[in-house]
Amino acid sequence: MRIFILLWICTYSARLAAQSQPAFTPATERLKGYEQRKTLSANSIAGGIPFRNIGPTVMSGRVTDVDVSPNDPSIFYVTFASGGLWKTENSGNTFTPLFENQSVMTTGDVAVNWDKNIIWLGTGECNASRSSYSGNGIYKSTDEGKSWTHLGLEETHHIGRIILHPTDPNTVWVAAVGHLYSPNKERGIYKTTDGGKTWKQTLFVDENTGAIDLVTDPDNPNMLYAAFWDKTRRAWQFTGAGKGTGIYRSGDGGETWELLTTPTSGFPTGKGAGRIGLTAVRDGSKSVLFAIIDNQNSKPKAANEAVVSNDLTKDKLRSMTRELFLQLDKKVLARFLKEYGFPEKYKAETVLEMVKNDKIKHTALLEYLEDANNDLFETDVIGAEVYRSDDMGKTWKKTHEGSIDGLFFTYGYYFSQIRAIDAQNIYVLGTRIAKSSDGGKTWVSLNKENVHWDHHALWINPKRIGHLINGNDGGINISYDDGKNWFKCNSPAVGQFYAVNVDMADNYNVYGGLQDNGVWTGAHTSEMNTDWQDTGHNPYKSLLGGDGMQIMIDPRDNNMVYTGYQFGNYYRINKATGAAKEIKPTHELGERPLRWNWQSPIWLSVFNSDVLYFGANKLYRSMSNGNHWTAISGDLTNGGKKGNVPYGTLTTVHESPMRFGLIYTGSDDGLLHVTKDGGVSWKNISAGLPQDLWVSRIQASAHQEGTVYATLNGYRWDDFNAYIYVSENYGETWKSIRSNLPAEPINVVREDPKNANLLYVGTDHGLYVSLDKGLIFNQFTQGLPAVAVHDLVIHPRDNEMLVGTHGRSLYIADVAHLQALKPEILTKSLHPFSIVTQKQGRNWGRQSDKLSEPNEPKVKIPIYCKTAGKVTFTVRNDKFMLKRFDAMAVKGLNYVDYDLTIKEDMQKNYESYLVENQKDKSDRKIEVKKADNGKIYLQKGKFMVDMEKDGQKEAAELVIE
């Protein structure tokens, strides 16, 4: 019996372990998914639909690294967290993307051999943020980014640093951070001596400790220093420090290593040792090593104050007894309640009476303020410290008194970068960029009015003191006066959108919430150029700061917008006046605080625009535009978990567009619920689905009441499979419709508002569509990079798709022809669609002057082809042929360009035809002249465009007004 109990305990413990840490997706499976994606691209019916990037660009996105030419600093490369690699050759005025169609787009570090023109790219952002995507190793280009070779290290996931040997192009060292959400052995220091053909792991600490930074001695490239970071991240907890953290040194080119940061070295060690950054410089005849650490140990506490008449703080309240609390001066308590934004009903007298009568404990005031957003900044950890070593890392001394306050606030998943010119001039990167000119004793902030917060990359020009190139959460800034003044270089569209929406204005507006950069809106016709710098009117306007989240727009008045930032801090904004009213529901004093997801979901009812739904760990409904809230459910999650990240929260809410009160919810811990009566009763509909996964989206059908689609996302377990399901009975039973989708986490599913068979799916690597409710998926590829798609919306009137990407801003495409692809069309070899009526331009083919390019119009002829091949087009009037041309079509939808010209030898016939058919039968002569570019263009009238493919003939009318 005892043996049986022991076996049962072991088995149960193994089950718990398996449940708490599911298996991650091996890199081999992810690479198979990439090959599958390429096959889908080659055979996609939707591959010919053109996408247009509409920005925005002004706010940019998170930079991870820069590498600058030592001979010409107007040339440099920039890596973005999820936007790929870009290059500029004009000091950041414009950039060219170089890495956007590989198996991943997330980049952590770039290192360039400028003499040999070899680019080394480490994929996987080295930060540990909520959307720090996993890479799959090292890539190399020998043709300035035109082509890439994958060099392995697939299982490293996140690359902290790449170091190139200064004289041997075949020797390279890599600092690999490793998996973000799962333990693994493929982290640490790697070395190649054959240009990346083979790699050797030369330093491994443990399965949760990876290499985050790596530097060489200024005089000896075989003397290396590596910073290791002990961290674990789960959906509910981030631990950014641990005993594995430390600095190692190698004196033989990285073959062997020794730990430098021992308990007697003078450098912080132990469970509070957080992320470390390194730099090494010359100081006279010796080299000096500097390190910055995010010290996660708590600051020393001051002695508790017995006097209660002074101002009340959280710390005092935390250590205060009930008796001392009841002795508080009412004015002191009133100031505390006002400072922390308690509702007006909680006056000092009321609170004291509640505590006195034991209705609440006095510590309920602290519990009421357990807000995840405040916890990001109200930390009691030491934070940023800079240390110096003059003996090759054996001993360390802190360069300053105390800590560098105001540099680190978070739980340690960012920052800890340090750069130096010499031993006196040192720069550190955190929420701000700061500099010391006295060896680290004192520090000043270099953040100015047009410099974004949160800094990750810095290059210092060794040939021109004061010339800095800085990469932060808002793109690239350049200074030539050591940070006194900066200018932005934000032409790339690299915004990280979480959510998008549209309004119903005639020239409709798009809205989006971005990581790091708030909420913005602009017309869907916006074009990204520099004209706005002349007019002062950027096409996009900011609505709100913080990390921008979901947006709903009142269809009766698009000036009324509901949106917010992280952890449920939402507002009702009047665009016309700029007024913003906070609408976040609150719990009662004495109750446990609500749990709000980083991306808290909202939904505006299509039946009544006064009705708004809002998800915390329970669902709230307002019948008054967010002025008053009522909880219409209990906890719709598994109840949360203890940790420093809110967990057990709602992530998605959708009310059926077919029935008021039919509402679905999904949570971050894998639960789905439905109510058919507006929240009176709820049913858990998670049975039959994978458990413990993030419910990324739930979508109730607009065509069949009982049909609902759900997507689950395993990203936070390093599970990169695709999970998508459909139910036709309100969630009673589910069926997987993953079909031919590659192994890519799914972020969103949308049903087309007009064609019930069309499903759109956005994943971490692109956008897909099914024409048959999920039996087969096709990929969108024309103009759309392989970037994460977090959200999408189909405009119900204009039939355009707006795509919110997490790394390349917004894209737009016309999906009217996709909506029209009914089964009877799909069986045809060739099918034309209507050609948009053209307005005749008097300036077609003309040049305004000899320095200008001629205006050359074109019209797109939309066709569907069952198979790829040649299509012959003939443009004619009712008498004769005017022009014939061929075009190679792909399988599916095609948009063939026609330049509206006729054959030169048809000029006289066309003139005669126009004279014969003119309404005014006067003797007025009609001349069809060549334009400035030597081409002859069609005049106004009606024309036929005949087309033929594989023996099938079709025709479409072309009208020029």
Cα gap 210→176, rounded to integer Å? 6
User: Quick one: average pLDDT of 439-452?
Assistant: 96
pLDDT of residue 307: 43
Q: Return the half-sphere exposure (C-beta side, CA atoms, 13 A cut-off) of residue 941.
A: 18
Greatest Cα-to-Cα distance within the chain, rounded to the nearest angstrom: 115
User: Quick one: average pLDDT of 779-785?
Assistant: 96
pLDDT of residue 8: 35
pLDDT in tens, 918-929: 876 665 677 889
CA-to-CA dists, residue 85 to 99, 154, 453, 588, 762, angstroms: 5, 18, 21, 49, 22
Using left for φ > 0, alpha for ψ between -120 and 50, and beta otherwise, residue 402 falls in left
pLDDT in tens, 790-807: 999 999 999 999 999 999
Q: Yes or no: say if 523 and 509 are a contact pair by the CB < 8 Å rule.
A: yes
Residues 6 or more apart whose Cβ sits within 8 Å of residue 117: 142, 143, 144
pLDDT of residue 20: 61
Positive or negative CA dihedral for 353, 356, 360, 365? positive
User: Quick one: average pLDDT of 123-127?
Assistant: 97
**DSSP states along 332-345:** HHHHHHHHTT--TT
pLDDT of residue 922: 61
Cα gap 42→38, rounded to integer Å? 6
**Closest residue by Cα to residue 778 from 40, 42, 34, 32:** 40
Q: Yes or no: say if 792 and 762 are a contact pair by the CB < 8 Å rule.
A: yes
Q: By CB neighbour count within 10 A (0-12 exposed, 13-18 middle, 19+ buried), where does 343 fall?
A: exposed
Q: Is the pLDDT of residue 346 over 90?
A: yes
User: Quick one: average pLDDT of 944-952?
Assistant: 96
Q: What is the mean pLDDT of the chain?
A: 94
Angle in degrees, 0-180, between the axes of helices 348-356 and 330-339, rounded to the nearest 10: 110
How big is the CA angle at 509 (ends 488 and 537), to the nearest 5 degrees?
40
pLDDT of residue 311: 83
**Closest residue by Cα to residue 230 from 173, 293, 279, 284:** 293
Q: Is the pLDDT of residue 566 over 60?
A: yes
**DSSP helix, strand, coil percent of the chain (3-state; round to 5):** 10, 35, 55
Core vs surface per residue 258-292: b (16+ CB within 10 A) or e = eebbeeebbbbbeebbbbbbbbbbeeeeebbbbbb
Q: Would you place residue 331 in the very low, low, confident or very high pLDDT band (cuts 50, 70, 90)? A: very high
Higher pLDDT, 389 or 410: 389
pLDDT of residue 304: 44
**DSSP states along 30-57:** HHHHHHHHHHHHHT-SSTTS--EE----
Q: Would you place residue 411 in the very low, low, confident or very high pLDDT band (cuts 50, 70, 90)? A: confident
Q: Would you place residue 380 in the very low, low, confident or very high pLDDT band (cuts 50, 70, 90)? A: confident
User: What is the pTM (predicted TM-score) of this model?
Assistant: 0.95
Amino acid at 354: M
Q: Is the pLDDT of residue 72 over 80?
A: yes
3-state SS of 637-692?
CCCCCCCCCCCCCEEEEEECCCCCCCEEEEECCCCEEEECCCCCCCEECCCCCCCC
Cα gap 254→261, rounded to integer Å? 17
- Among 143-157, 366-380, 390-404, which is the least confidently predicted range? 366-380
pLDDT of residue 892: 97
Q: By CB neighbour count within 10 A (0-12 exposed, 13-18 middle, 19+ buried), where does 449 fall?
A: exposed
Q: Would you place residue 110 in the very low, low, confident or very high pLDDT band (cuts 50, 70, 90)? A: very high
Q: Would you place residue 372 in the very low, low, confident or very high pLDDT band (cuts 50, 70, 90)? A: confident
pLDDT in tens, 460-483: 999 999 999 999 999 999 999 999
pLDDT in tens, 207-239: 999 999 999 999 999 999 999 999 999 999 999
Query: 557 is written with which tokens?
Result: 């008045």
Q: By CB neighbour count within 10 A (0-12 exposed, 13-18 middle, 19+ buried), where does 476 fall?
A: buried
Q: Yes or no: say if 120 and 138 are a contact pair by the CB < 8 Å rule.
A: yes
pLDDT of residue 603: 98
Q: Yes or no: say if 106 and 81 are a contact pair by the CB < 8 Å rule.
A: yes
pLDDT in tens, 478-498: 999 999 999 999 999 999 999
Q: Is the pLDDT of residue 913 over 80?
A: yes
Given strand 708-713, what is the order of strands in its sheet? 694-700, 708-713, 723-727, 735-736
Q: Is the peptide bond before 56 cis (omega within 30 degrees of 0)?
A: yes
pLDDT of residue 731: 98
Q: Is the pLDDT of residue 10 over 80?
A: no
**Closest residue by Cα to residue 835 from 900, 768, 756:** 900
Q: Yes or no: say if 618 and 637 are a contact pair by the CB < 8 Å rule.
A: no
Strand partners, 174: 162, 190
Rounded to a whole number of angstroms, the distance between the first and last alpha carbons of the chain is 92
pLDDT in tens, 851-862: 888 999 999 999
pLDDT of residue 1: 37
Strand partners, 778: 769
Q: What 3-state class would DSSP assign to 815?
A: coil
Q: Is the pLDDT of residue 955 over 70?
A: yes
Q: Is the pLDDT of residue 606 over 70?
A: yes
Tell me which DSSP letter residue 715 carries.
G
Core vs surface per residue 487-526: b (16+ CB within 10 A) or e = ebbbbbbbbbbbbbbbbeeeebbbbbbbbbbbbbbbebeb
User: Quick one: average pLDDT of 178-197?
Assistant: 98
**Closest residue by Cα to residue 777 from 760, 756, 802, 797:** 760
Q: Would you place residue 306 in the very low, low, confident or very high pLDDT band (cuts 50, 70, 90)? A: very low
Cα gap 323→828, rounded to integer Å? 84
pLDDT of residue 2: 39
Q: Is the pLDDT of residue 739 over 90?
A: yes
Given strand 172-176, what is the order of strands in its sheet? 159-164, 172-176, 188-192, 200-203
Q: Would you place residue 9 in the very low, low, confident or very high pLDDT band (cuts 50, 70, 90)? A: very low
pLDDT of residue 305: 42
- Given the structure tokens 């007697």, which residue do they identify? 264
Q: Is the pLDDT of residue 36 over 50?
A: yes
pLDDT of residue 299: 87
pLDDT in tens, 867-898: 999 999 999 999 999 999 999 999 999 999 99
Cα gap 415→418, rounded to integer Å? 9
Q: By CB neighbour count within 10 A (0-12 exposed, 13-18 middle, 19+ buried), where does 56 fall?
A: buried
Query: 630 is written with which tokens?
Result: 């009522």
Higher pLDDT, 765 or 921: 765
Q: What 3-state class would DSSP assign to 834?
A: coil
Strand locations in 833-891, DSSP E? 859-865, 869-876, 881-889
